[in-house]
């Protein structure tokens, strides 16, 4: 494995993504991760990430000198480069040398890091405030830019390297090759970490842990993560996995039927489907505040789940927790976690004294999708767009009632259908309908109407942390609007949300 020590760069997760794309397993840990733990992991190589700090700040984050003496190859990126340089006795200068954006990297000396790159000049992305001004004899410069005389260097023994640019971002076209060279050529990783191997090792681990008489419970949400986790656990232990799907009454059209079709009938998983919509709607009656809605739904979900017969006697709870949720790094959480209380089954394990099985803990979202395909899950499951736990309740501004849910579900089904038909799906992060708490005047036939407004939200995003509204063709929007107003009784106006995140969030509540 490759160890990535995180100094807080916004790009640290991208470094991990690129390394894994080379079929090499890697983990991210904070820069001050204990040396004994690193030694026990026995990494084939270490990458020091970038970070927002300046070496001139007091208490600038640093590593123990021991880390550089472990013997494996080390690559320092941006701030990571200063760290190596400083440990080896280099002198840097401060913010005078700021450089943000594109630069031309000129390779001065052929190095394993640059193998396979054609030509000496390459476009790279810079984002730094300091620069290395002079290097000690133990370091050998291998590339420069106009602004940085030591944009890349290597120790004379060839073990440690520093690069000033960011190879992990798309604006550095040669970056993927540079990182591949580091992990495959310099660290000697075999590049054999594939989803097929992952299935093999994970199912082995689950089998070893779950005894013959033990049961694993899982709450399926309809989303990709819990679905893939369930399919993987099922592959390992078959019928000892018991799944529960709670119909909250807040689902998109056809959701419950889809779960039954795929999980119970196609995969043969033991699935209990509970219709709890009455309880959810009763508890949501008269509630307008978005946070209160979210909390009520989270609590009610746990109550319903706990009351299921199948839940009794289980020892384990399976969950689809992903790597971005567990990385103990300096920069791992975006703002949405504190802006909205996300609904999940987090409170369950302690209350029910269940032990957790989280087989996706080390995977990124796109790896989970690849794993789902490896396990034979259909596209309607693995390529689903994200859907919030509290469901349509956070897409109905104002009170959630059965009638308003039905209205939104009809309009939303048209949105889903039209986006799928036009093939926008793959490019978009999410596209859905929102019901507003307004009525406006319209004219239908010869009469006056006074009906509801539907907003369409369609966004492009890499990770849901930031997003931009999709620039959809006017003809497409026109068709959406006319279908929604014609086919959804109670709607006489459709608007398109043209706000990015920030300042808005993706969901309306």
Which residues sit at the interface with ligand XMP, rule CB under 6 A? 336, 340, 342-343, 386, 388-390, 430, 464, 501, 505-507
Distance CA 256, CA 249 (A): 10
Element at 468 (helix H, strand E): strand 468-469
Q: Per the structure block, which two tokens stand in for 135?
A: 């290097």
| Structural contact between residues 105 and 143, judged by C-beta atoms closer than 8 angstroms | yes
Residue 468: CB minimum distance to ligand XMP, A: 12
Element at 450 (helix H, strand E): strand 447-460
Return the HEC string of 90-155: CEEECHHHCEEEEEEEEECCCCHHHCCCCCCEEEEEEEECCEEEECCCCEEEEEECCCCCCCEEEE
Catalytic residue among 87, 99, 122, 168: 168
Largest distance between two CA atoms of the chain: 87
Catalytic residue among 166, 187, 189, 451: 166
Distance CA 448, CA 460 (A): 37
Comparing CA positions, the residue from 434, 470, 472 lying closest to residue 455 is 434
Q: Is 78 a catalytic residue?
A: yes
Sign of CA dihedral 236, 238, 241, 246: positive
Q: Residue written as tokens 């913010």?
A: 95
Cβ atoms within 10 A of the Cβ of 351, count?
Answer: 9
| Structural contact between residues 151 and 164, judged by C-beta atoms closer than 8 angstroms | yes
Q: Which ranges of 251-362 would DSSP assign to H, the alpha helix?
A: 255-259, 277-284, 290-307, 323-326, 336-339, 348-352
Comparing CA positions, the residue from 245, 191, 205, 222 lying closest to residue 45 is 191
Q: For residue 321, give Cα distances in angstroms to 225, 359, 373.
A: 7, 8, 18
Distance CA 411, CA 153 (A): 58
Distance CA 179, CA 115 (A): 11
Distance CA 29, CA 294 (A): 32
Comparing CA positions, the residue from 381, 456, 471 lying closest to residue 424 is 471
Q: Burial code of 104-128, b = ≥16 C-beta within 10 A, e = fewer? A: ebebeeebebbeebeeeebebbbbb
Torsional class of 16: left (φ above 0), alpha (ψ -120 to 50), beta (otherwise)? alpha
Q: Is 154 a catalytic residue?
A: no
Instruction: Report the SS3 class of residue 30.
Output: strand
| Structural contact between residues 228 and 243, judged by C-beta atoms closer than 8 angstroms | no
Residue 507: CB minimum distance to ligand XMP, A: 3
Cβ atoms within 10 A of the Cβ of 250, count?
Answer: 25
Cβ atoms within 10 A of the Cβ of 69, count?
Answer: 9
Distance CA 427, CA 337 (A): 25
Q: Is 406 a catalytic residue?
A: no
- Catalytic site residues? 78, 166, 168
């Amino acid at each position: 494995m490759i160890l990535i020590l995180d100094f807080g760069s916004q790009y640290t997760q991208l470094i991990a993504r690129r390394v894994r794309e080379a079929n090499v397993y890697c983990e991210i840990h904070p820069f001050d991760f204990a040396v004994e733990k690193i030694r026990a992991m026995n990494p084939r190589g270490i990458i020091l990430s970038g970070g927002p700090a300046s070496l001139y700040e007091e208490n600038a984050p640093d590593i123990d000198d021991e880390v550089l003496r472990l013997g494996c190859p080390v690559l320092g990126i941006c701030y990571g480069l200063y760290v190596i340089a400083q440990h080896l006795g280099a002198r840097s200068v401060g913010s005078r040398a700021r450089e943000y954006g594109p630069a031309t990297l000129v390779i001065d000396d052929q190095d394993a890091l640059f193998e396979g790159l054609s030509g000496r000049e390459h476009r790279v992305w810079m984002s730094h405030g300091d620069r290395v001004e002079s290097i000690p004899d133990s370091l050998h410069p291998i590339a420069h830019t106009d602004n940085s005389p030591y944009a890349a260097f290597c120790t004379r023994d060839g073990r440690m390297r520093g690069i000033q640019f960011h190879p992990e971002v798309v604006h550095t076209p040669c970056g993927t090759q540079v990182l591949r060279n580091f992990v495959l050529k310099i660290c000697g990783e075999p590049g054999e970490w594939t989803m097929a191997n992952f299935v093999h090792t994970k199912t082995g681990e689950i089998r070893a842990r779950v005894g013959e008489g033990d049961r694993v419970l899982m709450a399926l949400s309809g989303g990709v993560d819990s679905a893939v986790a369930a399919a993987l656990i099922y592959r390992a232990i078959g019928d000892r996995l018991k799944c529960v799907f709670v119909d909250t009454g807040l689902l998109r059209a056809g959701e419950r039927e889809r779960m039954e079709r795929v999980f119970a009938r196609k995969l043969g998983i033991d699935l209990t489907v509970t219709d709890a919509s009455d309880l959810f709607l009763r508890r949501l009656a008269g509630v307008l505040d978005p946070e209160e809605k979210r909390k009520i739904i989270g609590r009610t979900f746990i109550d319903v789940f706990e009351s299921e017969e199948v839940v009794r006697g289980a020892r384990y709870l399976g969950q689809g927790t992903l790597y971005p949720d567990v990385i103990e790094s300096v920069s791992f959480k975006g703002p949405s976690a504190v802006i909205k209380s996300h609904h999940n089954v987090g409170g369950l394990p302690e209350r029910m004294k269940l032990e957790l099985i989280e087989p996706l803990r080390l995977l990124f979202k796109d790896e989970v999708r690849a794993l789902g395909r490896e396990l034979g899950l259909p596209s309607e499951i693995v390529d689903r767009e994200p859907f919030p736990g509290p469901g349509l309740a956070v897409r109905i501004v104002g009170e959630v009632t059965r009638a308003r849910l039905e209205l939104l579900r009809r309009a939303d089904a048209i949105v889903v259908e039209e986006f799928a038909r036009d093939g926008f799906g793959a490019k978009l992060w999410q596209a859905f309908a929102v019901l507003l708490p307004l009525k406006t005047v319209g004219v239908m036939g010869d009469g006056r109407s006074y009906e509801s407004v539907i907003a369409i939200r369609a966004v492009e995003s890499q990770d849901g942390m930031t997003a931009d509204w999709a620039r959809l063709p006017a003809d497409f929007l026109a068709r959406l609007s006319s279908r929604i107003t014609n086919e959804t009784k109670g709607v006489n106006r459709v608007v398109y949300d043209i706000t990015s995140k920030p300042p808005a969030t993706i969901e309306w509540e």
